[in-house]
């Protein structure tokens, strides 16, 4: 591999970072994260961009339903992502059954060829694990991010010639209504995600890489993934790294039984989608699950969680996922110490367990607080506690200024895109 793709292409003294509050509670989590990030005096210039359901609605209002220019991502946003060193994105809202609607993040993954979806799942020492025996989990999942059933090559109704393509289709002829989604793998696609996983293991001193597949049944696509994995694994034996290939259903089971046995997992898009949600539940739940979509030229960091529309603009969501996502972005930019401070401060706030510093999900799921509704901190209260841990000398008036700035930066009544 020519360069470490998990790091920004060019190191700079100051970076331009595009931030996208997304939809609904995405605005709350981004505002919370910014309270912390703005208090840290980072060498970052922030550029706001919007995408998601809010942009879909705006474009439909502007161009009219059915116009091909309607989209969840405005051209302005694409330009801002392209001209930034990295992008930090909060959750977006997807609605099924809306004609012409395409997920904003899926479009960005393909457009910018963000072929790595990096999803760490790590037990925070002061949060604990919901699992028996409180296992210490520290695994990193490399999910292929551009191929597989996410290729968006789908048919419904099925053109007649598709029934003739393969004798296996014969029995579907009599089934009447049939839909097909193609599961496309390329050897280039398999090899680059597998190599990224092994390179990561090598550079972080990890000794095992698991490849989760279903080559025993899905022989061509997963067969390709498994074959390439075993080939690449041989190259890394000399570094003391063992490659283990495993059926994805077995992984789903073993992750619950023996999660501490996993260090690095590499897998295809759909299996990675599922296994990463599972892995996040074994640690802190979606309130703590970060991720990064990374390609050769840029990266978009987004938490795994959804935008929780029912809590939109109520500041209920945990800011930690967005902050751990910010940590990943800071590490991408080479600002590792700042990133580690954020994780340390989250742990400290969890450990101290002071009133009005923890969001409802933590009190309900990890602290057994029967009064979790009433005792819950808001997104901003928890973020403030984290910011104060990082910088104890923050004065009240500076904090108020920072909060006001973060609020202004995430004003959900003023979005950017589809301007005249
Ligand atoms: C994720 C999400 C997305 C995915 C959705 C929102 C398109 O579940 O990032 O895991 O399926 O990849
Ligand atoms: Mg998912």
196: domain CATH number is 3.40.50
Answer whether 378 contacts ligand 1 (Cβ < 6 A): no
- Asked if residue 403 and residue 289 are part of one domain, the reply reads yes
**Domain extent for 272:** 129-145+186-282
| Interatomic CA distance for residues 194 and 227, integer angstroms | 11
From the CA of 277, give the closest atom in ligand 1. 10
Do 111 and 204 fall within a single domain? no
Question: For residue 289, what pLDDT is reported?
Answer: 94
Nearest to 302 by CA among 86, 83, 35: 86
Q: Are residues 169 and 208 in the same domain?
A: no
Tell me, what CATH number does 387's domain have?
3.40.718.10
With contact defined as beta carbons under 8 Å apart, do 182 and 148 qualify? no
What is the number of the ligand 1 atom nearest to the C-alpha of 106?
7
Q: Domain tally for the chain?
A: 3
Candidate of 23, 89, 106 to mutate for ligand 1, largest count of ligand atoms within 8 Å of Cβ:
106
Q: Cite the beta strand spans of 135-263 per DSSP E.
A: 138-144, 154-155, 180-181, 208-213, 242-247
Structure tokens at 229: 């994995």
How do the residues of the chain divide into helix, strand and coil, expressed in percent and rounded to 5?
Answer: 45, 15, 40
One domain, residues 360 and 266: no
* 324 and 409 inside one domain: yes
Same domain, 316 and 365: yes
The reported pLDDT for the residue numbered 97 is: 86
What is the full per-residue pLDDT of the chain (420 aa) written as tens digits?
Answer: 568 999 999 999 999 999 999 999 999 999 999 999 999 999 999 999 999 999 999 999 999 999 999 999 999 999 999 999 999 999 999 888 898 899 999 999 999 999 999 999 999 988 877 777 888 999 999 999 999 999 999 999 999 999 999 999 999 998 989 999 999 999 999 999 999 999 999 999 999 999 999 999 999 999 999 999 999 999 999 999 999 999 999 999 999 999 999 999 999 999 999 999 999 989 988 899 999 999 999 999 999 989 999 999 999 999 999 999 999 999 999 999 999 999 999 999 999 999 999 999 999 998 999 999 999 999 999 999 999 999 999 999 999 999 999 999 999 999 999 987
* Nearest ligand, measured from the Cα of 277: 2
Same domain, 67 and 167: no
DSSP class of 156: S
The dihedral sign for the CA sequence 165, 170, 174, 178: negative
Given the CA of residue 117, which atom of ligand 1 is nearest to it? 9
Q: Which pLDDT belongs to residue 316?
A: 97
Give the integer Cα–Cα distance in Å for 254 and 7.
31
Same domain as 254, residue 224: yes
pTM of the model: 0.96
Residues 226 and 332 in one domain: no
- Residues present in the chain in total: 420
Closest ligand 1 atom number to CA of residue 273: 10
286 Cβ inside 6 Å of ligand 1: no
| 148 ligand 1 Cβ < 6 A | no
Task: Single out the residue of 118, 365, 362, 129 nearest to residue 258, CA to CA.
Answer: 129
C-alpha count within 13 angstroms, C-beta hemisphere, residue 236: 26
258 and 391 housed in the same domain: no
Based on the fold, state whether residues 325 and 397 are members of the same structural domain: yes
Q: Is there an atom of ligand 1 within 6 Å of 270 CB?
A: no
Which of 282, 310, 329 delimits the end of a domain? 282
239 and 171 in a single domain? The answer is no
Q: Is 252 in the pocket of ligand 1 (CB under 6 A)?
A: no
Q: Are 119 and 271 in contact (CB under 8 A)?
A: no
- The verdict on the CB of residue 98 being under 6 Å from ligand 1 is no
Structure tokens at 111: 């457009």
């Amino acid at each position: 591999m020519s360069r470490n793709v998990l790091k920004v292409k060019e190191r700079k003294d100051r970076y331009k970072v595009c931030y996208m509050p997304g939809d609904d509670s995405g605005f709350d989590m981004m505002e919370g994260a910014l309270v912390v990030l703005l208090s840290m005096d980072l060498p970052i210039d922030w550029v706001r961009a919007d995408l998601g359901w809010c942009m879909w609605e705006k474009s439909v209002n502007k161009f009219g339903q059915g116009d091909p220019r309607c989209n969840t991502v405005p051209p302005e946003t694409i330009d801002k992502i392209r001209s930034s060193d990295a992008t930090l994105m909060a959750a977006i809202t997807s609605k099924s059954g809306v004609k012409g609607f395409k997920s904003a993040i899926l479009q960005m993954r393909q457009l910018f060829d963000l072929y790595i979806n990096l999803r760490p799942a790590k037990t925070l020492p002061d949060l604990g694990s919901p699992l028996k025996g409180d296992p210490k989990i520290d695994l990193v999942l490399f999910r292929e991010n551009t191929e597989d059933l996410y290729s968006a090559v789908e048919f419904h109704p099925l053109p007649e010639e598709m029934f003739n393509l393969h004798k296996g289709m014969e029995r579907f002829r009599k089934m009447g209504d049939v839909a097909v989604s193609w599961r496309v793998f390329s050897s280039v696609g398999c090899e680059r995600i597998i190599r990224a996983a092994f390179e990561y293991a090598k550079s972080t001193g990890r000794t095992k890489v698991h490849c989760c597949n279903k080559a025993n049944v899905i022989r061509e696509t997963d067969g390709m993934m498994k074959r390439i994995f075993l080939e690449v694994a041989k190259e890394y034996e000399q570094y003391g790294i063992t490659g283990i290939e495993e059926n994805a259903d077995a992984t789903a089971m073993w992750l619950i039984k023996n999660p501490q046995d996993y260090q690095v997992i590499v897998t295809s898009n759909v299996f990675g989608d599922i296994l990463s949600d599972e892995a996040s539940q074994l640690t802190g739940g979606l309130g703590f699950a970060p991720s990064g979509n990374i390609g050769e030229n840029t990266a978009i960091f987004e938490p795994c969680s959804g935008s929780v529309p029912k809590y939109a603009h109520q500041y209920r969501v945990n800011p930690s996922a967005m902050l751990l996502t910010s940590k990943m972005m800071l590490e991408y930019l080479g600002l590792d110490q700042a990133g580690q401070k954020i994780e340390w401060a989250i742990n400290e706030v969890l450990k101290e367990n002071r009133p009005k510093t923890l969001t409802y999900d933590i009190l309900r799921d990890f602290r057994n607080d029967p009064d979790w509704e009433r005792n819950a901190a808001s997104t901003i209260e928890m973020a403030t506690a984290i910011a104060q841990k990082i910088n104890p000398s923050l004065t009240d008036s500076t904090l108020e200024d920072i909060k006001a700035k973060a609020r202004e930066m995430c004003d959900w009544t003023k979005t950017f895109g589809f301007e005249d």
